[in-house]
Chains A and B, each alone.
Chain A
Amino acid sequence: MRDREKTNAIGRREFVRLAGLASAGVAVTPAGGLEPLLALQQSSAPGPDAGEKELVLRAIDAAKSAGAAYADARITRLTSEFVSTREQQLTGVNRGERYGIGIRALVGGSWGFAATRDLTNDAVTRTAREAVAIGAANDKVNPVKTPLAPVKKVADGRWITPHEVDPFTVSAEQKADLLFKTNASALRVKGVQFVSSSVSSVKESKLLATTDGSLIQQTFLRMLANVDVTAVSGDNSDSQTRNASIPPMGRGWEYVVGLDMPESASRWAEEAVLKLSAPKVEPGLWDLVLHPSHLWLTIHESIGHSTELDRARGYEANYAGTTFVGPPEKALNNLRFGKELMNVNGNRTEPGALATVGWDDEAVPGRSWRIIDKGLFVNYQTTRELVGWISDLTHDRESHGCAYAEGWWAIPFPRMPNVSLMPNSKDVSEEEVIAETKHGIFIEGDGSYSIDQQRYNFQFGGQAFWEIKDGKRFRMLRDVAYQSRTLDFWNSMALVGGQKTYALGGTFSDGKGQPSQSSSVSHGCPVALFRNINVLRTA
């Protein structure tokens, strides 16, 4: 328990640092308090490499001469590093680089896309023509119209993730050292047999040129640390793992250092051991108090994905699915998602969040907008191709800036922005939220997760489950999962914590599309209370 309090204190310090960058968590308006910060970053962010600039301009020129009505070209250099350990052994050090160009062309109303790793003048020209030929071949078989929403030209856009230490200036040895210290701390706890841990660092340089005249150079940094602690019972008949559920962030190495993983590891270890002997949950109706390290994923699956406009249009029907939030003319300003206390923003602007950008992959500036206002569904997530479909209903003429491709080899398409649940305007603490239930479970960390293809029925596990009895945390429980329907669940939200309980969670690997692409996204939220949710026992 002592370790836990310390960790909380660190968590809050981290939060204050984040909040200090801008008004994290508060309703960020489209023209909110971020512009001075962005201006500062833009002035110091690197501009385009001269050779790359020539190639992207060559690509869009070639596409245009070959008959494209619109084209964009992206040169991306994705540098990644993965350092992994188990116990006191190194299990892998890998550094990777993928560099190339992707060209997208609109011919008639059909998209063609071609990409190559070959960054020579001839190959780029040939690839641009191939993108046009693919668009033309599809338009011939199946002619369609594809109007694109207007966007302001950005002649020299520059953006870089705010950070203190570039993770690629820190040696693999230093990273492994931090992991070994973390593992050692966990292994000191009696009953713990195994620990695995890793640090992933990503640096993505992206140069975008469009036939609308935009040229934008952006550099993104992303960090992900992971720790799994496993305790095995004396006779090998049972084993339990506590995953640390550390939020990945769009920040530098200073973020990972600031986590103080060696300190927190003893708590994760104690909880792994505790899980072996904890009583199994009694299935039935329970109140749930969900910590941000858990709740971000429920938001992601049930609100983030259900409010994507391409899903409402059926574009993802063959894999990710459609959505119950539709059709737009029936759902917008009409669908009650939750009670008055529920406010949800979509944004590409929240500091430290993984989907935060200067501009999206169609040169649309990062924005913030309301998706759910006082419990009412008011807007979707859009791109230049999609927004026109609902402009008359939302009066939005411009894209929300949700176009994204995972790299040069991939086609940009609608991807989730940061979708965040706003905190209580009153200063409600975690203890005060817990005090509101007599029979509840406090859940920390993300575990198993599954939701249907229209985002109605979901089931979520977690990492640590604490029984709440008469307003106080009482003891650990195990094998907990809750199952609910999206609208039932959000309408049962009875209390949200204040800004001091607000934190970001997120993932490096949100999969969507065919071919499936991975995107990085964050979700901010306060601790929140849900009434009478169906709890299952998973073992």
Chain B
Amino acid sequence: MLQQSAGSNQKRHGLAAAEARQLCERVLKFSRAENARVNVSSGITGSTRTAANRVTTSGITDDITVQITSAFGKRAASTDTNRLDDASLERAVRQSEELARISPENPEYLPEFGPQTYTAVDGYYDSTGNLTTESRAQAATLGIKAANAARAVASGYIEVQAGSVAIATSKGLFGHFYRTGTSSTLTVRTSDGLSSGWAGAQAADWKNVDSERIADDAVRKCQEWRGKTALEPGKYLAVLEPVAAGMLIGLLRGAFDARSADEGRSFFSKPGGGNRISEKLFDSRVTLVSDPAEKNAEAAPFNNGGLPIGREVWVQNGELKALAYSRFWAQKQSVAPRSAPNNLKMSGGDASLEEMIKSVNRGILITRFFYIRSTNPRTIAYTGVTRDGTFLIENGRVTRPVNNFRFNQSITEMLSNIQALGRPMRVAGEDGTVGAGLIVPPILVRDFNLTSVSDAV
């Protein structure tokens, strides 16, 4: 299943367009349904994990998943399989048809798409796709060496994904998208367990992951946070480093939904009925855009049902410009369907993190968060804790490391309390696995609500 990629002697992981099309045609040939769709996902996931200054686990998995959706009238069902021989594929098609026939009618069902025009996007970087176990081990060893030199302990994770997704329908639709992704994260702790620092990066292109910078930053954070001092909880002016900001901003992706707003159960519901599109809801500097062609954070130009995805502006200068509409809801509301965002980019300003800190009279610097969970969907409020480097800023300087905190904070309120934005960058996620691209700036925010102390290191 390996394929030469254009302009390169290296082979790409995952099915090439022609191979995917052939597989989809084999599946659709078995179909007897009025409407049928095939979604194919293929490729590899490779990983290297370190802890206690050693490699603890490392591996590679290759898989191909075929999902078949069959419909008769408004009765629809789907099956997934990873068996690709004719007999297994036919069995999976028959099974989806049998499930569909005995399923109740779905009044919201809409027939599959015919051919669509998708933005041409190639999200596959050979630097990532061709990364070897040895290269990952060497990158991981940089973290171990840096920690050893500082008499500290490294725990890290490097993940690589490379492959493709494809879609085809019995109405003649076909789409294919190649992508790679990599995430490298590192936690360095002192051997007495009293301090911890973290650094990381996420990218489509491995060349954008600077393993030495990650090793140095994690060690430096760990050293700077050593000797944490007590600080009371309260509402603070806070500098959120890009990864911390990203953990909160990324939560909005699922919230931009028209139906739940129109149904009166979302922050974006308008009292009395309807939704709040075209209302100014946030600070004027808040602009949120998704774009499949975003460099180093490319995303599929179609969703699972084949709906084309282009560049979408969700919030512009604080004003809600759009919400996602499923095909059914769009038809019902007589608007164009729009897929929920995959990647997301928040615009920023020119300030560097250092300049941002300089502007703070008294505030908190937050490296990253952990265990973020919803407490109130109406205000998009969440709780979670800070970790791996929390500091007090006084008179424009970081003056001392302080204890971690639990926060209880509405994201929408935070977007109204913005004081400054820095330069956006693609950030790693909480669990260190490769996710959809999230590009965010460091954020200086007023009244960030730290509600209790966390003793954790």
Contact = CB atoms under 8 A, between A and B. Distances in A.
Given A91-B106, A137-B137, A456 B451 contact: no
A452 B431 contact: no
Given A141-B137, A536-B451, A319 B431 contact: yes
Contact of A450 (B61, B78, B99, B385): B385
Interface stretch (A60-68, A110-118, A249-257, A287-295): A110-118
Interface in B381-433: 381, 383-385, 387, 404, 406, 408, 430-433
Contacts of B381: 538-539
A94 B80 contact: yes
B106 A317 contact: no
Contacts of B270: 236
Contacts of B52: 313-315
Given A318-B155, A319-B157, A114 B59 contact: yes
Nearest to B51: A315
Contacts of B60: 113-115, 130, 134
Interface stretch (B11-19, B62-70, B316-324): B62-70
A459 interface: yes
Nearest to A413: B57
Contact of A176 (B63, B104, B159, B457): B104
A409 B47 CA distance: 12
Specify which of A133, A135, A137, A317 lies most central, judged by the most chain B CB atoms within 10 Å of its CB.
Answer: A317
B265 A93 contact: no
B155 A173 contact: no
B83 interface: yes
Interface stretch (B23-31, B174-182, B340-348, B369-377): B369-377
Contacts, number: 268
B151 to A, nearest CB: 15
Nearest to B135: A137
A112 B144 contact: no
B76 A93 contact: yes
Interface in A127-177: 130-131, 133-135, 137-138, 141-142, 144, 171-173, 176-177
Given A95-B95, A459-B383, A516-B431, A232 B265 contact: yes
A94 B193 CA distance: 46
Contacts of B55: 110, 138, 141-142, 144
A514 B100 contact: no
A79 to B, nearest CB: 10
Nearest to A231: B265
Contacts of B453: 457
Interface string A377-414: 00000000000000000000000000000000111010
A509 B15 CA distance: 30
User: Is the interface on chain B under 10, 10 to 19, 20 to 34, or 35 or more residues?
Assistant: 35 or more
Nearest to A239: B265
B170 to A, nearest CB: 18
B452 A94 contact: no
Contacts of B64: 117
Nearest to B46: A134
Contact of B187 (A138, A236, A317): A317
A96 B92 CA distance: 9
A459 B33 CA distance: 50
Nearest to B374: A448
B371 A113 contact: no
Contacts of A100: 63, 82
A97 interface: yes
B376 A538 contact: yes
B378 interface: yes
A516 B273 CA distance: 40
A483 interface: yes
Contact of A137 (B67, B81, B133): B133
A159 B153 CA distance: 41
Contacts of A144: 54-55
Given A134-B58, A448-B375, A483-B452, A515 B159 contact: yes
A103 to B, nearest CB: 9
A238 interface: yes
Contacts of A96: 67, 79-81
Given A89-B106, A236-B264, A452-B385, A539 B378 contact: yes
Given A483-B451, A514-B47, A538-B375, A454 B79 contact: no
Given A230-B265, A452-B404, A454-B455, A111 B56 contact: yes
Interface in B83-128: 83, 92, 95-96, 99-100, 102-108
Contacts of A455: 456
A304 B27 CA distance: 45
Contact of B102 (A111, A171, A318, A456): A171
B100, B198, B408 pick with most chain A CB within 10 angstroms: B408
A453 interface: yes
Contacts of A352: none
A91 B74 CA distance: 11
A230 B404 CA distance: 36
Contact of A232 (B59, B264, B387, B455): B264
Given A93-B76, A97-B80, A449-B373, A457 B406 contact: yes
Nearest to A315: B51
Looking at chain A's contact residues, the main secondary structure is: mixed
Contacts of A98: 63, 65, 80, 82
Nearest to B132: A137
Nearest to A119: B83
A99 B83 CA distance: 7
B287 interface: no
B272 interface: yes
B399 to A, nearest CB: 24
B385 A453 contact: yes
A97 B406 CA distance: 40
A237 interface: yes
Most interface-central of A117, A131, A138, A239 (chain B CB within 10 A): A138
Interface string B185-220: 111010001001010000000000000000000000
Contacts of B107: 89
B456 A452 contact: yes
Given A111-B56, A172-B103, A316-B51, A515 B45 contact: yes
A193 B432 contact: no
B141 interface: yes
A193 B452 CA distance: 37
B446 interface: no
A189 interface: no
A442 interface: no
Nearest to B106: A90
B133 A133 contact: yes
Contacts of A173: 102-104
Nearest to B196: A317
Given A94-B79, A98-B82, A235 B272 contact: yes
A534 B193 CA distance: 28
A430 B62 CA distance: 51
A13 B356 CA distance: 62
Interface of B: 45, 47-49, 51-52, 54-65, 67, 76-83, 92, 95-96, 99-100, 102-108, 133-134, 137-138, 141, 144, 153, 155-157, 159, 185-187, 189, 193, 196, 198, 263-265, 269-273, 370-379, 381, 383-385, 387, 404, 406, 408, 430-433, 451-457
29 contacts: A89-B106, A89-B108, A90-B105, A93-B76, A93-B103, A98-B82, A99-B82, A110-B55, A110-B58, A114-B61, A115-B62, A115-B63, A130-B60, A138-B133, A141-B55, A141-B141, A193-B263, A194-B263, A232-B264, A315-B51, A317-B155, A318-B187, A409-B61, A450-B371, A450-B384, A457-B455, A459-B406, A483-B452, A539-B379
> Which 7 A-B pairs give the minimum distances between C-beta atoms?
A113-B59, A236-B264, A96-B80, A454-B456, A93-B77, A317-B155, A452-B456
Given A97-B83, A133-B133, A318-B155, 19 more contacts: A94-B67, A94-B78, A96-B81, A99-B81, A110-B55, A113-B57, A114-B60, A142-B144, A235-B272, A321-B456, A322-B457, A324-B455, A450-B385, A453-B371, A455-B456, A457-B385, A457-B406, A539-B379, A539-B381
